[in-house]
Amino acid sequence: MPRRALTRTEKVLLVVVLLAAGIFLYVRYLYDPLARQYEQDRARLQELRREVAAAQPPAAGPLQRQVEDLRQELKRKEQERDAARSAKAEQLSELTRGVTEINALALAHQLEIKEVSLKAERKAKADAPPEKPEEAFSWKEYHMVVWGRTQDVADFTRTLGQRKYLVYLEGLEAKPEKKEDPRLQARLKILF
């Protein structure tokens, strides 16, 4: 049974679903565990405060130190949680804006988006030479296959290089899908 090509609306919907899944995974596996740990520490602090209030004055010294240690640890964890939340949210927001802009740019150049995928984050190598930015920095990898007229593909890649979200275009492979077809299929590997 032949498969039909996805329409532009279906492709945009697919990108939106993928982004929503990414946000869900971030909340589920990064934000929720930090929030749970924070609440456990807060409950433990309240419990220790009640114990200190109920304790007799001579026994309060060690508990008071423990309460102070827990209070400082709770403050540190709150700062870590806030820093992680704001850094991850900023990265995700920037990536979302970049991916959305690239998709809109492809559609504006009358290109058909055939494939879109967001790969795992690439970690930087400590011993990478500075002349190889693809190894020296951490990146989010985005793969995209577009299809259209040769001039439209060329205009798209030229305009893509002028975008502020595009940091590094690692690979561009352009070839006709069929020998007699004048349109090109371009496979891009973009690093944010």
Task: Say whether pLDDT at 130 is over 90.
Answer: no
Task: Say whether pLDDT at 40 is over 90.
Answer: yes
Name which residue leads in pLDDT, 76 or 181.
76
DSSP β-bridge partners for residue 186: 146, 174
What's the rounded Cα separation, in Å, for the pair 189 and 171?
A: 5
Name which residue leads in pLDDT, 62 or 47.
47
pTM: 0.45
pLDDT band at 127 (very low <50, low <70, confident <90, very high): confident
Q: Provide mean pLDDT across the span 165-191.
A: 68
Q: Are 15 and 114 in contact (CB under 8 A)?
A: no
What's the rounded Cα separation, in Å, for the pair 102 and 39?
A: 40
Task: Say whether pLDDT at 192 is over 70.
Answer: no
Domain boundaries, the chain: 8-191
Name which residue leads in pLDDT, 45 or 90.
45
List phi, psi (to 5°) of 34.
Answer: -65, -40
Q: Provide mean pLDDT across the span 62-84.
A: 83
Task: Say whether pLDDT at 18 is over 90.
Answer: yes
DSSP for 139-181, please give it: EEEEEEEEEE-HHHHHHHHHHHTT-SS--EEEEEEEEESSTT-
Name which residue leads in pLDDT, 50 or 180.
50
pLDDT at 42: 93
pLDDT band at 159 (very low <50, low <70, confident <90, very high): confident
Q: Of the ranges 69-83, 98-112, 114-128, 152-166, which is most confident?
A: 69-83
Q: Provide mean pLDDT across the span 138-151.
A: 76
pLDDT at 44: 94
CATH number of the domain located at residue range(s) 8-191 in this protein = 3.30.70.60
